Amino acid sequence: MPSIILGRLVSLILSLIAASIVIFLVLEVVPGDPAQFMLGLNATPEATAALRTALGLDGPLLERYFTWVLGLLHGDFGISYTYKVPVSGLIADRIWISLPLAIYALALSTLIAFPVGILAAVRRNSATDVGIMGATQVGLAVPNFWFAMLLVLLFSITLRWFSAGGFPGWQDPLLALKALTLPAVALALPQASILARVMRSSLLDTLGEDYIRSARAKGLSQGQTLWRHALRNALIPVLTIIGLQFSFLLAGAIIIENVFFLPGLGRLVFQGITSRDLIVVKSVVMLLVFAVILVTFLVDITYALVDPRLRRATR
């Protein structure tokens, strides 16, 4: 077991180093000078040069790379070119929107997908199944930003139950949750559709296994078989999908964040790219890479813990 962890740990560190080099180099070759962008059309060349120096943009490549990486290791993410505040503070503020939003959307999608997927599997080929499959197909096909606009049109403009966007902060948790509700619903719809379909097919697979027939043969009812045997085994691929969806929701909600003008992590990266606030882009992307690699690492370890076959194979 420790050898597995050690092996995984080495690959985690190598992945991080590789990622940091790629991120750094990609942002180096992006056209556009941050100093020029910040000073605009009327700036004198001297002022632009002065700003480049002030931002530390004119040192040698290698030196700047190591300054950045060493800073990261110390928890120093640098100062945003645009906002002139520490990047770590920006990330900390925004993670409090992106993380709860991702969890909220994931909870919603799971709450919808599980019963719907199970129902479709149990009533295979019935009208219910066909209806559910059709509905999830639509859920997959509808672009979530368009669905988001429809939600705004109905619930914000016509009914005026929710505000059209923005985030009031967590001082009042209920108000904050309310502000995240429409975005979470808009994000959850396609995720729930995927999850429901995976749930259905995974459950159908396990329901066809021999041990299910044995369970039925030893006298368990259909419901008991479903809950005790089929569902547990069917959950493995579903959980994998949920894991993938979570990383996507954390960083990939940019469009929804734009529709609802929420200051989340995705929009921070997006704005960082357009305004050439490269230090923010570098650090946030690095952080997201770290999060994904860490999750994968933990999942690998968990697999080894849970599945005895995996442990034996490496011994």
Partner 1 sequence: MRRSLVVLALAGALAMTTAMTPAFAQARTDVKVGLVLEPPSLDPTAEAAAAVDEVLYANVFEGLTRIIADGSVVPALAKSWDISEDGLTYTFHLVEGAKFHDGTDFNADDVKFSLDRINAEGSLNAQKALYASIASVEVVDPATVKVTLKQPDGNLIYNLAWGDAVIVAPESADANKTNPIGTGPFSFKDRVEGDSITLEKNQAYWGTPVKLEGATFKFIADPTAAFAALQAGDVDTFPNFPAPETVAQFQSDPRFRVVIGSTEGETILTMNNGKAPLDNVKVREAIAHAIDRQAIIDGAMFGYGTPIGTFLSPANPDYIDLTAQSNYDPEKSKALLAEAGVTDLTLSLKLPPVEGYARRGGEIIASQLAAVGIKTEVTNLEWAQWLSEVFTDKNYDLTIISHTEPNDIGIFARDGYYFQYNNADFNKLIADLAVTSDPAKRSELTKAAEKNLADNYAVGFLFELAKVGVENAKLKGMWENAPTQATDLTGVSWEE
How many Å apart are CA 127 and CA 150, to the nearest integer? 28
Residues within window 106-165 making contact with partner 1, judged by CB under 8 A: 149, 152-153, 156-157, 160, 162-165
Contact call for residue 167 and partner 1 (CB under 8 A):
yes
Candidates 110, 147, 88, 144; CA nearest to 265 is 88
* Residue 183 in contact with partner 1, rule: CB under 8 A: no
CB of 144 to partner 1, least distance (A): 14
Rounded to an integer, what distance in angstroms lies between the CA atom of residue 90 and that of residue 284? Answer: 10
The answer to whether residue 25 forms part of the interface with partner 1 (CB under 8 A) is: no
Nearest by Cα to 210 from 225, 198, 192: 225
Is residue 5 a contact partner of residue 301, using CB atoms and an 8 Å limit? yes
Q: With binding defined as CB under 8 A, does residue 268 bind partner 1?
A: yes
For residue 86, give the DSSP letter.
Answer: B
Check residue 256 for interaction with partner 1 (CB under 8 A).
Answer: no
Interface pattern 187-216 for partner 1 (x via CB under 8 A)? ------------------------------
Least separation in angstroms between residue 220's CB and partner 1 is 38
What is the torsional sign of CA 188, 193, 197, 200?
positive
Site for partner 1 contains 40 (CB under 8 A): yes
Return the HEC string of 104-120: HHHHHHHHHHHHHHHHH
Applying CB under 8 A, the residues found at the interface with partner 1 are 30-34, 36-44, 46-47, 50-51, 54, 81-85, 90, 93-94, 149, 152-153, 156-157, 160, 162-167, 169, 258-264, 267-268, 271, 274-276
